[in-house]
Structures are given as C-alpha cells and as structure tokens.
Amino acid sequence: MSNTLQKISVERTKMSKINQIDFDNLSFGNVFTDHMLVCDYKNGVWEAPKIVPYQSLSLDPSAKIFHYGQSIFEGMKAYKDEKDAIWLFRPIENHRRLNISARRMAMPELPEEYFMDGLTALLQVDAAWVPKKAGSSLYIRPFMFATGKGFHASPADEYKFIIACAPSGAYFSGKVKVLIEEKYSRSANGGVGFAKTGGNYAGQFYPTKLAIEKGYNQVIWTDDHAHEYIEEAGAMNIFIRIGDVLITGPTSDRILDGITRKSILEIANREGIATEVRKISVKEVLQAAKKGTLKEMFGAGTAAVVSPISSFGYQGTDYDLPELADSYADLLKKKVTDIQYNRSEDPFGWRLKVS
C-alpha cells in the first residue's frame, strides 16, 4: 500500500486459542484473537509497528493515561463473505477520525500507512478469526494512549497505538426504551464530544445507570445549554423519522461524526428517502408523537448498525413508537450490511478487500 513503511514484523503465537472459541455462540467483544498490532511513539517519532501475540501490558504507575485520560479509540469491523474473502468498510474514515481525536487530545497523529498497513497485516495473520456466521464479524479496536511518565499535568511524551480484535456475534439488542436526558450532558460547546475519547464514555455511565434504574435501556443526549435539542442516542448517532422524512442532527463539537450515520444518509438519498440534517428539538418530537406523525427513532453506529427505539420517556411520560411493516431502520440496515458483507453492489466504493 505504501513504501514509506518497512515490512511489519510478525511474532506468531506458539499456542493459538482459536480451537477454544465457540464461534456459534459469540457475544460482543470479550474474546480476543491470537495477535495484536503494537506501535510505540518515542522521541517524537512512531517506531516500526509490530504484530505480536495478544498479551497484557506493563505500564509505569505514573503513565499519563491513568491520571489525565489521554486515550482515544476507533471501532470498526471486518466481514467475511460467502467465498471467505475479508472486507473492511470505509477504513480510511476511521483513520481520519483517529487523527481528529488525537489532535483534540494533544496526542500525536498516526500516519495513514501505519494504520492501514498495520490493520491489513494483522487481519491477514488473524484471518481465520473473522467469523462467517450470518451477522457476525470481527470487531476491530484501534486505540492510542499516553504511556509517558510523570504526575505533571501536561501531554505525555510517549504513546502506544494498538489494534486488538474480537470475533463477535450478531448484535441483537432488541428494541430499546430510551430516556430523554434533562439534567446531565455528554458534551459541550468547545469540548471533546466529537472526539472518540474514553472520558466521554466514563461521563455517560452514571446518568445511564440512573436511567437503567428507572427502567430505560439508554439515554438520549440533548444539548448541554438548555436540553432542548436531541443530539445522540447513548454512544450512537440518532435518526428520527417524522412522516416520511428521516432527520438527524448536524455534526458539531458536541456530536460525533459517525461513519454509519453518514453512510445511512447517503444510502437513504440514493433510495429516494427524504433526509434532513438539521437541529431537531424535543418539542418537535413530542408534537409529532402526539399527532401520530412520529414513525421511527433509531440509533446508528458500527456495533449494531441500527438500533431501533421502541419508546422514549420525557418528563415522567412514556411515548410509544409504532410497529412499522416498512421501517426505514430495517431497510437501511439491510442496505448497509449488504455492502459490508459483499452481498450487493457497492456503488459508493466503500468496501476494501483485505485478502
């Protein structure tokens, strides 16, 4: 793919774990492949990436990741088709976003060939781990964190970039009940909401726990200023269908620029579904629910692709969404996954063959 990067060294595991894995009963993200890609940043440069057996890490207790949270990640998947070819979906977008996150967290950017060559080399070594069963895939987690030492509150001088992979089963979450958040915020203007950084998740856990105690599955985040506009669904982008128009909020400092979100928008446009990218208020959604024009709400993200919402709670009242025979969520999920698994044409050029 490039000639600036030397061949990636591979140290193969002596004892593959693959025979211990029940590929028919995979859950999400808790068994890991035999290998991982590791790349260290020291003295202002990225060293050569290496593929090594999946293993624990040893870090100094003063490593800045533990104290100041310099930590970013990506989430992507590899898909196996009928003929056992392995495919990635828009991987360059993940690399681009990793560097957007890195810049915001004062971390070093990773050159594209380190990401792409490292990822493809790792997938070739662990190709047998990409599951083939319908709906399953290899979940890929590229991440970077501060290993540099010292209690001084400043950016670290050393970092580690790792890609680890987890074979994962089909994501059947069922329909979710959500609570529109009126007190807590996920992100703020000028903040880090657009970056895929660990703290954004840590900050969500407590309000989400409170929502779960009230009988909901997830929180719908609203703007931090007046909790007036709908922003995201948990750690997913949100789509709302009013009448036959599919609406999602514009990306901003506060809303993460999801690859699933933008793919869904492009596919919807191609399918002749009217879309609007604009701010959408809680008031507008309530009015549509009362008038009967609110047809669907769903989250969009790599893990679940789409996650349909069955009802939402707001100020003590629950509002149910109808069961539709012709849901946009189902149609769009099918169109996206058909491209991902090489079951259809790829008019957008999003698929990348690994092997």
Name the CA radius of gyration of the chain, rounded. Answer: 21
Per-residue buried b or exposed e for 205-233, using 16+ beta carbons within 10 Å of the residue's own CB: eebbeebeeeebbbbbbbbbeebebbbbb
Return the residues of window 28-87 that contact ligand PLP according to CB under 6 A. Answer: 75
**CA dist 45 → 39, 111, 158, 257, 277 (Å):** 10, 10, 9, 28, 40
Nearer to ligand PLP, 136 or 307 (CB): 307
Spatial distance between the Cα atoms of 140 and 20, rounded to a whole number of angstroms: 20
# residues contacting ligand PLP (CB under 6 A) = 13
Tell me the window of 52-60, 163-171, 233-241, 277-285 that interacts with ligand PLP (CB under 6 A): 233-241
| Binds ligand PLP by CB under 6 A, chosen from 117, 223, 232, 296 | 232
Q: Which helix (H) or strand (E) holds 287?
A: helix 282-291
Q: Does 219 bind ligand PLP (CB under 6 A)?
A: no
CA–CA dist 329, 304 (Å, integer): 11
According to CB under 6 A, which one of 119, 156, 235, 282 is a site residue for ligand PLP?
235
Under rule CB under 6 A, residue 220 binds ligand PLP: no
Q: Find the binder of ligand PLP among 147, 302, 307, 340 (CB under 6 A).
A: 302
Sketch the per residue contact string, 180 through 209, with ligand PLP: x for CB under 6 A, - otherwise. Answer: ----------------x-------------
Quick note: the x/- pattern for ligand PLP over 243-262, rule CB under 6 A, is -------------x-xxxx-
Distance of alpha carbon 121 from alpha carbon 254, whole angstroms: 34
120 vs 248 by CB, closer to ligand PLP: 248
205: helix, coil or strand?
helix
